Amino acid sequence: MRIGILGAAKIAGTSLVRPARNVGDVTVAAIAARNPARASRYATRHGIPVTYSSYEELLDDSSLDAVYIPLPNALHGRWMARALESGKHVLCEKPFTANADEASDIAALAEKTRLVVMEAFHYRYHPLSERILDILASNEIGEIRSIDTVFCVPMPPSSRNIRWNYELGGGSMMDLGAYAAHMVRTFSGEEPAVVSAKARVHDVTIDRYLRAELAFPSGANGSMTVAMWSSTIFSLRLDIVGRRGRMRVSRPLSPQFFARIVTTTDAGRRVERTTRRPSYEFQLEAFRDALDGGPNLTPPADSVATMTLIDAAYRAAGLPLRLPA
């Protein structure tokens, strides 16, 4: 698989370039940036052989099989559509699009082109996620009664950080909240409704903190608490309470960094740790294999459901939905 990068984003080094060195049959072959000098510097730093001065030029390169899109959130949909129209498979950073309507449009286009489109929820491809699902399927803790996510990471307000820019699709719910929304859906196996939500804003549009209360069809309840700037300095955890026990997962977003699962039942307390191999390598392997018919755990239909939940949280909090740039 020969893959190109749209945009000289810092995350691409962690999420694609370095993993590609340890994943067979994957070559990061080209990068495009609107600033040619920046593309050239990035290519030199990471050993990428070809640079382009526009995204269109890269997409017109017939030697590339796929593209990775780490652009600002509000640009994801536009460039996914252009990539699909050019015949390229797509690995796109989360959140999938600016909102659920745009996600539905991309899902329809992906179905029409029959190309692989994968949302880059790298945690989902790490063995930690499969272990969580195995424990839940074993009924060890019983039927889920509640599922809560708390993802707070300090990212001080800055005009240089796209997460604080509404026009580019910023906000806590779009950043950390994308993981929260995806996790409550994935591990519950249900599509929750947002009962209520409360946000604290940096300005009238950007949520620096948002908490949404959830209700599930099974009768379970849950919550998503996410923040880029709040009194909770740092917290990354997933809590699941069942009829017979509970599970707490620390650092589920980045399992390679000392994540652990603590399961507590009447039988006692068990602590499990996982491989330190980067989640991004598992994700890249899965994307490569999906091009040959392998499973895609984060396809467009899944992305539409996640974006629908994000939109519902914003509506409940009285904030505007993000819009495509």
Name the percent of the chain lying above pLDDT 70.
100
Give the mean pLDDT of 11-18.
97
CA geometry: angle at 179 spanning 174 and 183, to 5°? 140
pLDDT in tens, 279-303: 999 999 999 999 999 999 999 999 9
**Which pLDDT score is estimated for 274?**
96
For residues 259-284, one letter each, b for 16 or more C-beta atoms within 10 angstroms of the residue's C-beta and e for the rest, the string is bebebeeeeeeeeeebeeebbbbbbb
For 78-119, the DSSP string reads HHHHHHHHTT-EEEEPSS-SSSHHHHHHHHHHHHHHT--EEE
Q: pLDDT for 20-48, tens place per residue? A: 999 999 999 999 999 999 999 999 999 99
Contact 322, 210 (CB under 8 A): no
What is the maximum alpha-carbon separation in the chain?
Answer: 61
- Note the pLDDT tens digit of each residue in 129-177: 999 999 999 999 999 999 999 999 999 999 999 999 999 999 999 999 9
**Active-site entry in 10, 88, 94, 112:** 94
Sign of CA dihedral 100, 106, 109, 114: negative
Any catalytic annotation for residue 94? yes
The pair of three-digit structure tokens given for residue 132, joined into one six-digit string: 């969580």
Transcribe 122-171 into DSSP letters: GGGGSHHHHHHHHHHHTTSS-SEEEEEEEEE------TT-GGG-GGGT-S
- Give the CA angle between residues 38, 39, 40 to the nearest 5°: 90
Query: How far is Cα 187 from Cα 238, in angstroms, rounded to an integer?
Result: 10
Residues contacting 160, CB < 8 A, separation 6+: none
Contact 70, 6 (CB under 8 A): yes
236: pLDDT confidence band, cut at 50, 70 and 90?
Answer: very high
pLDDT (average), residues 8-30: 97
Q: What pLDDT does residue 131 have?
A: 98
Q: What is the mean pLDDT of residues 169-197?
A: 98
The pLDDT tens digits for 61-83 are 999 999 999 999 999 999 999 99
Please check whether residue 264 is in contact with residue 139, taking contact to mean a CB–CB distance below 8 angstroms. Answer: no
Domains of the chain with bracketed CATH: 2-121 (3.40.50.720), 123-316 (3.30.360.10)
- C-alpha closest to that of 321 among 202, 167, 214, 201: 167
Determine the average pLDDT of the residues in 269-281.
Answer: 97
pTM for this structure? 0.98
**Beta strands 260-265 and 50-52, pairing class:** unpaired
